[in-house]
Structure 1
Amino acid sequence: MNFQTDYMTQRPVVESHFKTSDHTSLFYRYWATEDITDKAIILFHRGHEHSGRIAHLVDELNLPDYAMFAWDARGHGENDGPRGYSPSLGTSISDVDEFVRYISTQYQIPLENIIVVGQSVGAVLVSAWVHDYAPKIRGMVLASPAFKVKLYVPFARSGLGLMQKIRGLFYVNSYVKAKFLTHDEKRIESFNRDPLITRPIAVNILLELYKTAERVVADAGAITLPTQLFISGNDHVVHHKPQHQFYERLNTPIKEKHVLAGFYHDTLGEKERHIPIEKMRSFITKLFEFPRYQHDYQFEDTWSVSADAFRALTAPLPNWCPKNIAYKIMSKSMSSLGKASEGIRIGYDKGFDSGSTLDYVYRDKAQGNGLFGRVMDRQYLNSIGWQGIRQRKVNIENIIRQAIRDLTDSGKPVHIMDIAAGQGRYIFDAINDYGKVQSVLLRDYSSVNVEQGRLHIKERFLEDKIRFEEGNAFDADDLAAVTPAPTLGVVSGLYELFPSNELIKASLSGLARAIPSGGLLIYTCQPWHPQVEMIARVLPSHQGGQAWVMRCRSQGEMDALVDAAGFEKLNQSIDNWGIFSVSIARRRNPESNSK
């Protein structure tokens, strides 16, 4: 038997490549329609496999009016580079975003007319992408998502994590035999003979797969996209429980779940796969029978999973609750011994969410009283939240530079306004070509931040380019009156601090009135935070020592606020942990804005 049997389709296929933002070339297959179409289905394969293994779906779905696409994920199939390797799972999730947007642009298919289908690891990548990026696609189909892989060796994850710390990067070979993936004898034989099957997986990807899946399942309430889920009833590879939890937490009225009795893990490659394929075809065609479903985010700050979570964090824990006792001990320790750390001392003095704290975290140089203080400060600076903050700084600087280039290339002047700049460090570090920037206005509510920012301006001899003023980021009329009118607005790390959307709406309204048509807005979001309860129970904010209680906004909610203000989202970056995103949007022509 020729191993390419699974690759062959009746519909002609075109093989091509696209370049990711880090200049990696990824292979993909494209099956066109006979007539011009504006609808597409994008297929994402299992771990260890490649696009050829799911090519059979092109014919079996029997949807001739839909263009079909399937990629080889980084480290798989026809792609160059180490087998089973990606720099991070976050990189692979970003690849999904870039691939889908590439398909939309290259083949002139609107995002709202795209449906994505993911199986196993491909389903995790798809669901994490939908969670982190909130794409405005039509819907998604997930088959046996690998939210929790079965590792039959006790404490395997802990052991692999320890070995990674000792050995660094190494690879783990798949234990799964083809006969435990499907009952289809032809599929079993073709799998065993396929030279493009990738047995090894990099340990960083395997461990990050677990962590990413756990947060996506836990926060599935942030996903509002129409979803169809297939669960294989006799799956030897992944656990069922997280799949059911994910489905129950999905925040969409358009969802359906099918448990397929007796099916092995290769759900869409099983012997009786016509059963799920018929259900897929019905689901997909129904989604196109009515306008694209859009979740109503109007009251998200009051009636939502995140609003409930915020209210729970503001409620005190029972006095003798073990968790409450642990947090009180932590608070007492940090506010006493912890102040030997310079970062913790600044946090208690200025607030852990203050501009002074952020500026210290950006510098990332451990300081404190003696060796003990410096060691504690290093642990503090290495916390996952502060790692995310530093990655956000890198991402926002990159997007600011790209925005400057885009404005310059389009012949527009570059007038930058940051409405809550803290001490301005990321702006100073981002603007590395001052000849292309006509003016920069930095504003902040804190006189301390303004004073420090002005000192930075003098140190860098930028008085002729940059001015720093006190200002209220939520005063719409004040923002709208700024001169010169900003062509690039920046708001970073501000909206995340306020649970209500009313202030955010006022701020965005002022920015929309200030920024002319075609101008750009860069904004941040915090869709999720792994330490949100510890922060709420232990750390004081800049607001008079009050508890620092955060409401994590989903990316969909934040994008909806920006869209309603008159901006069209263009692109996004997010850290590997899914904590902080940075997005850029373009101001629509107010006359054509019907929102």
Structure 2
Amino acid sequence: MRLVYRTWKPVTEPSGRVLIFLHRGHEHSGRVAALVSRIAGPGDLCFAWDARGHGRSPGVRGDAPDFMALVRDLDAFVKHVVQTHGVDVEDIFIVANSVAAVVTATWLHDYAPRIRGVAMAAAAFSIKLYVPLAEPALRLGLKAKPDLKVTSYVRPSMITHSKHEAEAYASDPLVTRDISARVLVDLADTARRVVADAHAIDTPVLMLVAGKDVVVRTAPQRAFFDALSSTRKQWLEIPESKHAIFHEEETQLADAACRHFIEVCFANALPEPARYLDNDLEGPSATLHATIAAGVKRPGLSNRLQRALLRRIGHLSDGMKIGLTQGFDSGASLDYVYRNRASGRFGVGAMLDRGYLDATGWRGVRVRKVHTQALLSELIRTAPQGATLKILDVATGSGRYLLETLAGFKQTSFDVELRDMDPANLAAAEKLATQLKLGDRVQIRYVQADAFNPPEQDADASLFDIAVVSGLYELFPENAPVFASLKSIARAVRPGGALVYTGQPWHPQLRQIAETLDSHLGGAWVMRPRPQNELDALVQMAGFKKTATEVGPQGIFTVSVARRIADPHGNG
């Protein structure tokens, strides 16, 4: 989808600062033009877009496939600005209002961009719907009518004291009062997730809060702000302001706060990636991991019952049987989940298996596979024609995601090295390669090796064009071995080569999984979701620079691509 946006170029010597302004729901970029003139400096390069379904951008008014589509749009827009205008992402500051503030917060959490900072005004983490049971009613209505829309109850006088601004809003033909019920419900779910896991965000944040806001609640904004790991953050409540903080009668306080915060953010460097190395030992994610690990010894009644039932009848499901015998996080278990064909004993086993395969996490794993294959395919398509591509998979499991991808490129030659600790996984990969009939154009070496203790590289060996590490680092809470593994991968990848890596920044069922399922390593499957900014920092310190990220359902899994820089131990 092609979206409309506006550009304000510097009128003096360029400052190097890039400001992106994101409008409220229902509105468009023209509504922030006055704000740009009040906040931006004369040397700043500024942008504002019309979100899909708003202003002059295409799409059904107030609609999107889901809320995450708006987040993906923001990621794509920032990439466009970086690539088209030759700016660095670290020189970008975002000013976002209302729903756009939640879009930005979700982008910060899921994609972890290293931007300079954000100003969030009246962030719509929780919208006051007023009608009793409105949210359950919307969810029920969507089952009957998937394209259900609602019309905003908000009158212009409810969002600003300014009669001029209220009249301008009411008479603007590009303002739409419609909003998709699907987006509204998805917004509520995503906002709850991001507020609950806000400690994963450490971008500098200015929170502007309206004291007379009748549209959104203040408490979730406070909870989000308090949980932020940002070393630079500021809370400013404007007592007499209504929801449209930047369209009030008096905007001087908000404007001045934004200008000052922007100056401070650009006057100070972003945190060095090395600060993340000890996150596995201290900080919110380490504390949560320790709490869940301790709770395994005293599981809750519900989880004790689930665990007992799993061991009593789980063997009837083929998928659960693999998990019970080899570990639910094993390569064999993941390969079964990838295939997604329910089977089991006595009829009831297949029914149990279907429910097992449809679990939230396993659905996310299958989307992760799709994203991994899509990013791999893009790397292969854009590689120089005629050359044999050298690919390394450091923890291949059955190799399904890679081998299936290679099967789709009939005219390309590959030199592939599949590594895994388990000989059974390598045997499964070899069997799959035979089934896929890859032929002579794909030369494969099967190497038994530990991703955390890889074989020494032959000094004369040519380096790999692409390395893949999928579904591995999520299983290990410690950063030191992950960092060491990434550094070994950097030594094996040529400068300019690519690394495809997966992450798990968040999971909604950590305690349930730890108290009911076993790991292939033995004992309970206790996960420490590694925030995306932490994982990206380890990748950067190892010698790579991230270029892209795809995010799965509910933000549970991510797949990213990074390019190898010239110095494998640099911080670039």
1:474 aligns with 2:479: no
Aligned-partner SS, 2:384: helix
Residues 1:119 and 2:97 are matched in the alignment: yes
Report the secondary structure of 2:554's partner residue: coil
Whether 1:440 and 2:440 are equivalent positions in the alignment is no
Indicate conservation of the 8 Å contact 2:296/2:515, yes or no: no
Q: Deviations over 1:362-414 (max 9, x none)?
A: 111222234432222222212211111111111000100111123226x8641
CA contact (8 A) 1:572 1:584 kept: yes
Q: For 2:305 and 2:467, how far apart are their aligned partners in 1?
A: 42
Deviation at 1:484, TM superposition (A): 4.9
**AA paired with 2:319?**
G
Tell me which residue corresponds to 1:40. 18
Q: Which residue of 2 aligns with 1:179?
A: 157
Map 1:10-159 → 2, pairs under 5 A: 24-37=1-14, 38-159=16-137
What's the secondary structure of 2:411's corresponding residue?
helix
- State the match for 2:199 in structure 1: 221
Distance change in 2, residues 1:477/1:375 (3 Å): closer
Task: Give the 3 Å change call, closer, same or farther, for CA 356–70 of structure 1 in structure 2.
Answer: same
> What's 1:394 paired with?
370
Mapped to 1, the partners of 2:248 and 2:342 lie a distance apart of 55
Query: What is the count of residue pairs matched by the alignment?
Result: 567
Residue 163 of structure 1 is matched in structure 2 by 141
Name stretches of at least 5 consecutive residues in structure 1 with no aligned partner.
1-23
CA change 1:102–1:199 in 2 (3 A) is: same
**Corresponding residue of 1:301:** 280
- Aligned equivalents of 2:248, 2:474: Cα separation in 1: 45
2:293 is matched with 314
Match for residue 425 of structure 1 among 393, 400, 416: 400
Which secondary structure state, in structure 1, belongs to the residue aligned with residue 234 of structure 2?
strand
Corresponding residue SS for 2:495: coil
Specify whether residues 112 and 186 from structure 1 end up closer, same or farther in structure 2 by C-alpha distance, changes over 3 A only: same
Report the Cα offset of residue 56 of structure 1: 1.1
Per-residue Cα deviation, 1:476-513 (whole angstroms, up to 9, x for no partner): 44367795532100000000000101211221121111
SS of structure 1 residue aligned to 2:369: helix
Q: Distance in 2 between matches of 1:234 and 1:318?
A: 48
CA distance in 2, matches of 1:294, 1:260: 33
| C-alpha separation in 2, matches of 1:561 and 1:457 | 32
Distance 2:374 2:78 in 1: 22
Matched residue, 1:15: none
In the alignment, is residue 416 of structure 1 matched against residue 395 of structure 2? no
Question: What aligned pairs does 1:387-536 form with structure 2 within 5 A after superposition?
Answer: 387-408=363-384, 413-431=388-406, 432-462=408-438, 464=440, 465=442, 466-478=444-456, 483-536=461-514
Partner residue of 1:556 out of 533, 536, 550:
533
Amino acid at match of 2:286: A
Is 1:346–2:325 an aligned residue pair?
no
Aligned equivalents of 2:66, 2:381: Cα separation in 1: 28
Distance 1:480 1:101, change over 3 A: farther
**Which residue, out of 246, 258, 276, partners 1:280?**
258
CA 1:311–1:184 in 2, change beyond 3 Å: closer, same or farther? Answer: same
SS of 1:301's partner is coil
Question: Structure 2 vs 1, CA of residues 108 and 35 (structure 1 numbering), >3 Å: closer, same or farther?
Answer: farther
Which residue of structure 2 lines up, in the alignment, with residue 333 of structure 1? 309
Unmatched tracts of structure 2, length 5 or more: none
- TM normalised by structure 2 equals 0.95
CA contact (8 A) 2:388 2:415 kept: no
Deviation at 1:294, TM superposition (A): 4.2
> For 1:480 and 1:128, how far apart are their aligned partners in 2?
44
Counterparts of 1:485 and 1:503, CA distance in 2: 22
Could you tell me whether the CA contact under 8 Å between 1:476 and 1:506 is conserved in 2?
no
AA paired with 1:188? A
Q: What's 2:267 paired with?
A: 289
| Distance in 2 between residues matched to 1:160 and 1:312, nearest whole Å | 36
Query: Residues 294, 185 of structure 1: CA spacing in aligned structure 2 closer, same or farther, 3 A cutoff?
Result: farther
Q: Distance in 1 between matches of 2:346 and 2:248?
A: 63
Cα-to-partner distance string for 1:148-177 (whole Å, 9 max, x where unaligned) = 111212222222222222332311221111
Alignment correspondent of 1:364: 340
Match for residue 359 of structure 2 among 369, 376, 383: 383
CA shift at 1:577, angstroms?
A: 1.3
Q: 1 CA distance for matches of 2:460 and 2:499?
A: 15
The residue type paired with residue 214 of structure 1 is: R
What SS does structure 2 have at the residue aligned with 1:76? coil
Counterpart-to-counterpart distance in 1, 2:276 and 2:420: 29
Q: Is the 8 A contact 2:7 2:47 kept in 1?
A: yes
1:237-278: per-residue Cα shift (whole Å, max 9, x none)? 111111000010110221100111121111111111121011
Q: Distance in 2 between matches of 1:434 and 1:443?
A: 24
Name 2:557's counterpart in structure 1: 580
Tell whether the 8 Å contact from 1:26 to 1:74 is kept in structure 2 after alignment. yes
- Change in Cα spacing, 1:266 to 1:429, as seen in structure 2 (3 Å) is same
The answer on whether the counterparts of 1:174 and 1:200 sit within 8 Å (CA) in structure 2 is: yes
Note closer, same or farther for the CA distance 1:406–1:150 as it changes in structure 2 (3 Å cut).
same
**Is contact 1:142-1:228 (8 Å) kept?**
yes
Residues 471 and 435 from structure 1, CA distance in 2 versus in 1: closer, same or farther, beyond 3 angstroms?
Answer: farther
Give the conservation status (yes or no) of the 8 Å contact 1:89–1:576: no
**8 Å Cα contact 2:19-2:40 kept in structure 1:** no
Question: Partners of 1:494 and 1:233 in 2: how far apart?
Answer: 47
Structure 1 position 293, deviation (Å): 4.1
SS at match of 1:235: coil
Q: Answer yes or no: is the 8 Å Cα contact 1:482–1:514 preserved in 2.
A: no
Distance of 1:126 and 1:480 partners within structure 2 = 46
The amino acid across from 1:165 in the alignment is: K
Alpha-carbon distance in structure 2 between the residues aligned to 1:459 and 1:69? 51
Q: Distance in 1 between matches of 2:175 and 2:295?
A: 53
For the structure 1 residues 25 and 36, does the alpha-carbon distance in structure 2 shift closer, same or farther, using more than 3 Å as the test? farther
Distance 1:591 1:207 in 2: 45
> How far apart are 1:33 and its partner, in Å?
1.1
Q: What residue identity is the alignment partner of 1:372?
A: V
CA RMSD of aligned residues (A): 1.9
